[in-house]
Structure 1
Amino acid sequence: MTRYVIGPEVALRLARDEAVISAEHQIVAPTLLRSQLLSLLYQAVRRGDMSRKDADRALDYVRGLRIRLLGDRVLQSVAWKIADQLGWPDTLTAEYVALTQLQADAFITLDAELAQAVQGLVTTAPIEALA
């Protein structure tokens, strides 16, 4: 079983595509994924990019995924160190990288700059790896 860490943008893409995740894979994410995804969807509705009904459907899809959500002290400590090492202004993204180091085989991100920034810290994978 391959374990992948996904961020809110990946969760949103999976929901939009109504992707089917292979049973061979496990998805993990920091507990903050839920709040970040909710915020992204709220913002999209406010901008008029999607309807409330579509946002609710996306939330239901992600809630239906078997995502193991984690957020313990060790994760937070490692995230702090990563954010400091990379000079990031906050620890939010660092939690995803830390979780990848601690619990997963690879981090899936749609952000090419982020993938480049974490090269050497974690393995990254394309979203297609989940199929």
Structure 2
Amino acid sequence: MTRFGIDAPTLLHLVAEEVPLAPGHQLVAAQALRSQALGLLFDAVRRGELSETEALRRHEVLTGIKVRLLGDRVSRRVAWHLAREHDLEIADAEPLAVTRLQADLFVSVDPAARARAEGIVPVGSVERLSTP
């Protein structure tokens, strides 16, 4: 089994592109993942990129995706240390902290997020999620 740390843009990508998760793989993320994803959907509606109906449909789909959410004191403390060490925002450090603590690889569709993760945690491609 491979455990993948993900961020909100990646969760939305999985929904929008209907990316299947290979059997045996597990997704892990920071507790704020679903709220962040909802915020990204709302922003897409405001920009006219998605209809409200489609955004709410995607939100329903993403709530059904099994993700182990972590938000304990240890993961927040690790996020704090990573943010200090690497000059990151806490929101950017949280997925990396969760990955460091509970996952094998960090996966993101966001090139900036992947770049931030390099040298902090192992980074993989989104395609790995579908590969056994």
Which consecutive residues of structure 2, in runs of 5 or more, have no partner in the other structure? none
The corresponding residue for 1:7 is 7
Q: Is the 8 A contact 1:109 1:115 kept in 2?
A: yes
Q: Per-residue displacement from partner, 1:34-79 (whole Å, max 9, x unpaired)?
A: 1110100001111110011111121112111111111000000000
- TM-score, normalised via structure 2 length: 0.93
1:118 maps to what in 2?
Answer: 117
Q: Determine whether 1:50 maps to 2:50.
A: yes
Structure-2 separation of matches of 1:67 and 1:114: 19
The letter of the residue matching 1:54 is E
Shift of 1:27: 0.4
Report the alpha carbon displacement of residue 112 of structure 1 after superposing the two structures with TM.
Answer: 2.5
Alignment-derived partner of residue 128 in structure 1: 127
* Percent of matched pairs sharing the same residue: 40
* 1:40 equivalent in structure 2: 40
| Equivalent residue pairs, number | 130
**CA shift for structure 1 position 22:** 1.1
CA RMSD of aligned residues (A): 1.1
Q: Contact conserved, 1:18 with 1:61, CA < 8 A, in 2? A: no
SS, match of residue 53 in structure 1: helix
Mapped to 2, the partners of 1:87 and 1:6 lie a distance apart of 20
SS at match of 1:65: coil
> Which runs of at least 4 in structure 1 moved beyond 4 Å after TM superposition?
none
